[in-house]
A and B are shown apart, each in its own frame.
Chain A
Amino acid sequence: MDPCASSSDVIAALQAEITSLRAALHSVTAASSPPPPCTTTSSPVFRPGRVKIDHMSAEVTDSNPYSRLMALKRMGVVKEYERIRKVSVLIVGLGGVGSVAAEMLTRCGIGKLLLFDYDVVELANMNRLFFRPEHAGLRKTEAAMATLESINPDVCLEGHTYDVTSVPHFEHFLDRLRRGGPDGRSPVHLVLSCVDNYAARTAINQACNEADVAWMESGVSEDAVSGHIQTLFPGRTACFECLPPLLVASGREESTLRREGVCAASLPTTMGIVAGLLVQNALKYLLDFGDLSYYLGYSALTDHFPRHTLWPNPDCGNIWCRRRQETWRGKGRAWHRRETDCREVGEGAGPVHGTNEWGIEVIGREGVDVEGEVGVERGSAGSVQQSGREGTEASLEELAAELSQLQS
């Protein structure tokens, strides 16, 4: 018999099975939204490997999944590890970094995870960690929730399959930031940006500035051999629009970025390392230990880890960023302002804002036009009148009609 014929039968059968599993999964996830505070509905497809545990125990037994984590307290690293059960983290992007970050936090026993991605799992993703070939065709949010729940049923999971940059979804996204806490009313504690494009990062920046939520950015370069993480506290550290995006987004020179050929290469190693750096930094922030990194680069070719703090730009184009900066100045609240720490501190710290602290120089690289207006300013003197109408005279409808007629 032709082996191809039988394998195509198998494929057809598998596809039918995927469809029905997806439907089953979908009905479950649909039924659980809008989510009451912290109840992940058990999936009929992947049964959890253990029952839920109410309280984290430090008891050292082979059957306690938290004993090694609670040992961090005995070792003096973390004061109160159980706090992680009350923490809510929102992850945007379940690619090679985000999915691994979600697994790490799940294994750490995080209280609640909110997952956002609009994509489906593809076989082309199999050079990365976390997803498995049998997930191909499933939505990343669905596949991730099923896997994460089976790893640790104590974690409350919430998944949303949409693009956060689109106008209709953005408001919902903002609402989940503001009310995605474990109690269903308070804001999430931290947002992790694990997306691969500038537009999504800007949307997350906008939402976090508006909702005043701390976030951490991650990125892996197009050539897969460098990456970075960045911590953004609205008003206290540089937001994503405070600095020219190219430098922050890649930490690489413009000239090397602009290459012919492919949109992106990827390596499981670099992505795993960046996910590890990201979640380590998140744990430090959430459980209050060690020094936070505000910008930490990683160059795989030279094993170089540049580390900087990026201060907010008083002239940032994002109005919410400027408002948050104002809040931190105006109320006289204080936070550490050292190279290594911008966290909030008690009364009596020094002046919270100096002058000219836009951290441009720390990442400025030769050959990159950091503040350049690209010489196009001269065009702006020209000509909004070019269409033959003054700016405010024509209504939107008239302009639309003019455009349509012109092209007919």
Chain B
Amino acid sequence: MDGGPGGKAGRAEAPASEPMPPVWASTDHAPHVLEEIPMLHTRAGPRDGNQWISRVKEEMQAVIALVRINKEKDNDWFQINPLNKLCTRWEGKCWTYYQGVRFEFTLHFDVPASYPATCPDLIIPHLDGKTAKIYRGGRICLDLHFQPLWARNVPKFGIAHALALGLGPWLSLEIPSLVSAGLLPVTGTTAR
């Protein structure tokens, strides 16, 4: 991964973990991903016409880059595609492994009207009501650890960042605790 496309001379030894809140230290969806996902530039939301198109292109490139990074590391853990032409609705799935079992969930989200000032609510319908870290309707609770970071990085963060730095760590923290609490039956999942 150090030979990844984001690599630049002199940057290899930069302390990648420095900007990370401590909650991520324990996760394997790692801080170094942050350096490799392209940052976005256009500050525009779905109501901003052509500017939004430019923004969506940047979004798409960042998500493509993230998927490539994950594939290079043999660490695919989500699939996501836009559902409509304006790319305001996205749908796909995400998965994580715990104790050798694969837990896969459908995932969808809408880009909010105030985007990119606020990050999208990522929704995992299957987990609705299963944990305090899920709001009604399966919206995962990123308010505490990811929203503040997002807010300080508008407009540079995009959908790819929400997935890599919000959803990824959330999954690897929450799924084990749901499984150990007996809230996620192991049936219907496949072993790796």
Q: Which residues of A contact B96 (CB under 8 A)?
A: none
Judged by a CB distance under 8 angstroms, whether A202 is at the interface is yes
Judged by a CB distance under 8 angstroms, whether B130 is at the interface is no
Judged by a CB distance under 8 angstroms, whether A41 is at the interface is no
Query: Considering only CB atoms and an 8 Å cut-off, how many residues of chain A contact the other chain?
Result: 57
A203 touches B149 (CB 8 A): no
Judged by a CB distance under 8 angstroms, whether B111 is at the interface is yes
Query: Considering only CB atoms and an 8 Å cut-off, how many residues of chain B contact the other chain?
Result: 68
A317-B53 Cα distance, complex, nearest whole Å: 19
Q: Which residues of B contact A259 (CB under 8 A)?
A: 144
What mask results when residues 39 to 79 of chain B are scored 1 for a CB within 8 Å of chain A, else 0? 11101001100000100111011111101100100000001
Q: Which residues of A contact B19 (CB under 8 A)?
A: 374-376
A376 touches B114 (CB 8 A): no
A245 touches B113 (CB 8 A): no
Q: Which residues of A contact B68 (CB under 8 A)?
A: 386-387, 406
Known A-B contacts A374-B149, A407-B81; A386 and B114 likewise in contact (beta carbons under 8 Å):
no
What mask results when residues 130 to 168 of chain B are scored 1 for a CB within 8 Å of chain A, else 0? 001101100001011101110111111000000000000
* Best-surrounded residue of B38, B68, B87, B111 (most CB of chain A within 10 A): B38
Contact residues, A287-332 vs B (CB, 8 A):
317-318
A206 touches B143 (CB 8 A): no
Question: Shortest distance in angstroms between A129's beta carbon and chain B's nearest beta carbon?
Answer: 20
A258 touches B144 (CB 8 A): yes
Known A-B contacts A376-B39, A400-B82; A119 and B61 likewise in contact (beta carbons under 8 Å):
no
Interface of B is mostly: loop
A383 touches B6 (CB 8 A): yes
Contact residues, B1-50 vs A (CB, 8 A):
5-6, 8, 11, 14, 18-19, 21-23, 34-41, 43, 46-47
A380-B136 Cα distance, complex, nearest whole Å: 35
B132 touches A258 (CB 8 A): no
- Cβ contact of A396, chosen from B53, B64, B145, cutoff 8 A: B53
Q: A170-B113, A198-B147, A379-B37 are in contact. List 8 more A-B contacts (CB 8 A).
A: A171-B47, A199-B118, A199-B121, A202-B114, A246-B151, A378-B11, A387-B61, A404-B81
Q: List 22 A-B contacts (CB under 8 A).
A: A166-B110, A167-B47, A167-B110, A170-B47, A170-B113, A170-B114, A198-B147, A203-B118, A205-B117, A206-B114, A245-B147, A245-B151, A257-B144, A263-B132, A369-B152, A372-B152, A376-B153, A380-B156, A383-B6, A400-B87, A402-B60, A404-B81
